[in-house]
Structure 1
Amino acid sequence: MAHDPMTPITEDDIANYLVNSPDFFERHAQLLASVQLTSPHGNRAVSLQERQAEMLRDKIKALEHRIMDMVRHGNDNMVISDRVHRWARALLLVTSSRALPATLVTELQNQFMVPQVALKVWEVDERYREEPFAQGVSEDARAFATSLAQPYCGVVTGIEAVGWLEQPDTAMSLALIPLRAGAVNGVAPAFGMLVLASPDPQRFEPGMATDFLERIAELASAALSRLRPR
């Protein structure tokens, strides 16, 4: 369709023409060498070929950064996975059910370098009801643990579980991990809760991924089921 000579040609008209005329630069090959563009790395003019090369280098550099990020995250995940493995192995080696909660807490602190860890378990077998880990939990705290469908990370004040820590005043960020039979997001009521605390406000920040904390919750719940009535 012929262009109306009374209508000004727009940039879109030129772009559409070039897109729909792939042989244009074959007929006018000299234009490719004469086209000058502004470099993104300064105000100097560069040829079309040089501009394309710069764009390609930028894309390659961006891909390299993405690959490096993926490798770094993969290595970080492998380290965490190894720590979860060592922690779970330590739980399996505990022969005394009475010593299991203390081992669980100590190994969490050592393997994951968490400054403070507290654990409370309720509805335990009568043999363990006088143990420190089964004492001092109110009905409100039990209901709060049951209300958690997944580990909670962030800053929490004014809840009972913070008082389970040896130094609650130093806790600037917390991970609250409900313990229940089956999946951490299941419908079973919680029978315990783990509290991980750090003086670093960003250690357990809101919005962080909780995949590994969920694995810890399910492994801890399975191990501590030995304390519950048969």
Structure 2
Amino acid sequence: MGTSGITETDIANYLANTPGFFERNAELLASIQLTSPHGQRAVSLQERQMEMLRDRIKGLEHKIVEMIRNGQDNVAIADRLHRWTRALMDTADAADLPTVLVQQLKHQFLIPQAGVRVWGVAEAYAGLPFAQGVSDDARSFANSLTLPYCGVNSGFEPVRWLDDPSTVMSIALIPLRRGDTAFGLVVLGSPDPTRYSADMGTEFLIRISELAGGALSRLLPPAA
């Protein structure tokens, strides 16, 4: 039978399914020369295998370093979240909660600007600044959010709750809920247009939403 119809795939399959070939032809291993990826010099098969193994080890080392770095970042975020939550729990006067919430968010997570509004509050808090200036449209928007919103600042009303709205390029909008109904909204703002992008994960912001909603629900009348 001629060899003209034999392909590289046929040869590879033959060698893969004939483990004794190189045992019977051991001299071939010593004579095979390959081109090194680290230059144009020729190397033996064994040396080429060692280079491939070293490259694979380097790749694994990079993955391990990345995993360690991500683990350290997650621990740091968990510590900040713990300190922020404790600050809310340590606030005795419910009227101070919105201020503590915003100040601690900015401090713990290095957020340039943050604000919060709460509506439907108990009568004792109705005249305070955090319960003012929220339109029906903003309330409906907050109620429609099933997840925190992240993206560019395209003129959302909550941006006006921040200290310097004109510098805000990207925002995160975090609904506060009691049950299925939104009663407030936290807004985070940054001059960096990529800080809060539409494709970023929202797991951390969901935790902020749940914890902030639980804390600020103290401002609401008792549930019926």
**TM-score for both structures, normalised by structure 1:** 0.93
Structure 1 counterpart of 2:199, from 190, 193, 207: 207
Structure 1 residues 123-132 or 205-214, which shifts more? 205-214
| Other-structure match for 1:185 | none
Q: Provide the C-alpha distance between the structure 1 equivalents of 2:202 and 2:7, rounded to a whole number of angstroms.
A: 53
Structure 2 counterpart of 1:181, from 178, 198, 209: 178
Matched, 1:100 2:97: yes
Structure 1 residues 173-182 or 87-96, which shifts more? 173-182
Structure 1 counterpart of 2:159, from 162, 171, 194: 162
| Other-structure match for 2:136 | 139
Q: Secondary structure at the match of 2:153?
A: coil
- In structure 1, the gaps of 5 or more residues are 183-187
- Identity value in percent: 61
Please report how far the alpha carbon of residue 190 of structure 1 lies from its aligned counterpart in structure 2 after TM superposition.
Answer: 1.0
Report the AA paired with residue 189 of structure 2: A
User: RMSD across aligned C-alpha pairs, in angstroms?
Assistant: 1.2
| Other-structure match for 1:194 | 186
Cα contact 2:153–2:168 (8 A) shared by 1? no
Structure 2 counterpart of 1:222, from 201, 207, 214: 214
Q: Provide the C-alpha distance between the structure 2 equivalents of 1:163 and 1:93, rounded to a whole number of angstroms.
A: 29
Report the AA paired with residue 206 of structure 1: A
- Within a 5 Å distance, the mapping from 1:4-83 to structure 2 comes to 4-5=1-2, 7-83=4-80
Report the AA paired with residue 207 of structure 2: R
Q: Provide the C-alpha distance between the structure 2 equivalents of 1:181 and 1:36, rounded to a whole number of angstroms.
A: 71
- Residues 186-211 of structure 1: CA deviation (Å, up to 9, x unaligned): xx121100001111222222211221
1:6–1:35: structure 2 CA closer, same or farther, 3 Å change rule?
closer
